[in-house]
Amino acid sequence: MKGNELKPRIGIFGRRNYGKSSLINFLTGQQIAIVSETPGATTDPVRKTMELAGVGPVVWVDTAGVDDSGSLGSLRVQKTLQELQQSDLAVILLAANSLNNEELDLVSACRKASVPFLVLYAKSDAVPPSDAFLQQVKTRLELDSVPFVFNVNDLCFREPLLSLIRSSLPESAYRHRSLLGDVLHPGDKVLMVTPIDSSAPEGRMILPQVQVLRDILDNDAIALVCKETELVQTLQSLSEPPRLVVTDSQAYAFVSKVVPDDVFLTSFSIVLARAKGLFDDYIKGTPMLDNLKEGDRILMLESCTHNVTCEDIGRVKLPKLISQHVGCKLHFDAVAGLSAIERPLSDYALIIQCGGCVVTPKQLASRLAPAISAGIPVSNYGLALAYLNGIFNRSMRIFNI
């Protein structure tokens, strides 16, 4: 049900040859990352999933040194800083009794991005830290305690390190939040409407549908599933209407006409958007669809990478509906995954994010934070489609909004 992208990410950061790769190998007990005395052995982020007791699966991320140089080095540093913003916990390494701008900048970036962080002193067997240095680090970095000192050649450090990391990782990064638990009761019937078209994955359901299905079962409710073409027949076969219908957003227009007004109706994308955070920002930004004017540019953000078809919701159907809604020429850009946004954010009148089913709340928040800070309205695929189909308020009713 969950890919690596949905697990808490713990990034290891520091200068070249400070033992970041060795630490990953030490913590996992495997030779995952290349270790070399030559600085710059790690060029791209290296990820490894591990079961962390008391937390569950986490993803360790080994990164390139923040002191890398040259044109390629600058690109590696940029990639490293992107990883930091998406981390649920940053582990910053010190060594050789040295504290310079690289470490100060890392701590500053963590605080700016609201990323919890740990500062550790590595390679203590090679150059032990002085007490004066550890106190200096505590003062200059405004830490609650001096850095934890360790070396990867002594196994006695492994469990204390894992315990420290475990206690420093925010519970919000790994505690499962129910998608519908606060609006469902045991025995409630929930009907899922899942269209199957050319954009549907072969032989399986899409992740939001799987996640909602599992959540319905976890809350002791009764899950019913049909395609939109069987919706009328399904409703007629029930002795009483379902309490809630959750539909794929692209079928909103049809489903909203078929499902009785007294039955709660929402979409998979809206359910996911609510669970991922930023829901209030989406609700505030969605009505800006009415204010779009000739020549405005809209950014469509897709969290996953997929094959684009003629029925693609974010690149075909939604842009077409928005253009029809405003009745003028608009420009649409689409960016998939966590790829860089090439244009300045100020070029966009509106940003519309997909449901974000394959990214963590931290990744999604980091992606949209610059736009929100700049006052650019943001929306979500599901909320935008509900608004364009005139059922925005209805789609919120189950959540008492």
Same-domain pairing of 261 and 310: no
Same-domain pairing of 163 and 297: no
- Give percent of the chain with pLDDT exceeding 70: 92
Domain of 240, CATH number, reads 3.40.50.11420
pLDDT band at 275, cuts 50/70/90?
A: confident
pLDDT of residue 34: 52
Q: How far apart are CA 63 and CA 21, in angstroms?
A: 8
Tens of pLDDT, residues 232-242: 999 999 999 99
pLDDT of residue 76: 86
| R_g over Cα of the chain | 24
Most confident of the ranges 190-204, 267-281, 356-370: 267-281
pLDDT of 312 over the 50 cut = yes
pLDDT band at 198, cuts 50/70/90?
A: low
Which residue type occupies 100?
Answer: N
Tens of pLDDT, residues 150-188: 999 999 999 999 999 999 999 887 777 789 999 999 999
Last residue of one domain, picked from the residues 255, 271, 287: 271
CB-CB contact of 171 with 141 (8 Å): no
Give the helix ranges, DSSP H, for 169-229. Answer: 207-218
Which DSSP letter does residue 246 get? E
pLDDT of 3 over the 60 cut = no
Number of domains the chain contains: 3
pLDDT band at 201, cuts 50/70/90?
A: low
Angle between the 361-373 and 70-86 helix axes, to the nearest 10 degrees?
110
Same-domain pairing of 293 and 351: yes
pLDDT of 4 over the 60 cut = no
Query: Would residue 179 count as lying in a domain?
Result: no
Query: Would residue 183 count as lying in a domain?
Result: no
pLDDT of residue 39: 53
Query: Would residue 295 count as lying in a domain?
Result: yes
Same-domain pairing of 44 and 164: yes
Which residue type occupies 228?
Answer: E
Domain of 21, CATH number, reads 3.40.50.300
Q: Please, what sign has the CA dihedral across residues 198, 364, 50, 108?
A: positive
Query: Would residue 312 count as lying in a domain?
Result: yes
Burial class (CB in 10 A: 0-12, 13-18, 19+), 24: buried
pLDDT of residue 373: 92
- Give percent of the chain with pLDDT exceeding 90: 66
What 3-state DSSP class applies to 26? helix
Same-domain pairing of 153 and 251: no
pLDDT of residue 249: 87
Query: Would residue 202 count as lying in a domain?
Result: yes
pLDDT of 1 over the 50 cut = no
Helix, strand and coil in the chain, % to nearest 5: 40, 20, 40
Same-domain pairing of 148 and 220: no
Supply the range of the domain harboring residue 314: 278-392
Same-domain pairing of 257 and 319: no
Same-domain pairing of 132 and 101: yes
Same-domain pairing of 168 and 108: yes
Query: Would residue 317 count as lying in a domain?
Result: yes
**Mean per-residue pLDDT of the chain:** 89
- For residue 166, report the phi and psi dihedrals to the nearest 5 degrees: -60, -45
pLDDT of 286 over the 50 cut = yes
Question: What is the average pLDDT across 174-203?
Answer: 85
Last residue of one domain, picked from the residues 271, 292, 317: 271
Question: What is the average pLDDT across 103-120?
Answer: 94
Strands (E), 140-260: 148-149, 189-193, 222-226, 244-247
pLDDT of 36 over the 80 cut = no
pLDDT of 255 over the 90 cut = yes
Query: Would residue 350 count as lying in a domain?
Result: yes
Same-domain pairing of 266 and 282: no
Same-domain pairing of 246 and 142: no
Which residue type occupies 14?
Answer: G
| DSSP result, 317-377 | IHHHHHHHHHTS--EEEEEETT----S-GGG-SEEEE---TTS-HHHHHHHHHHHHHTT--
Query: Would residue 182 count as lying in a domain?
Result: no
Last residue of one domain, picked from the residues 254, 271, 288: 271
Same-domain pairing of 356 and 336: yes
- For residue 331, report the phi and psi dihedrals to the nearest 5 degrees: -115, 135
Q: How far apart are CA 56 and CA 8, in angstroms?
A: 9
Which of 115-119, 269-273, 313-317, 324-328 comes out lowest in average pLDDT?
Answer: 313-317
CB-CB contact of 24 with 165 (8 Å): no
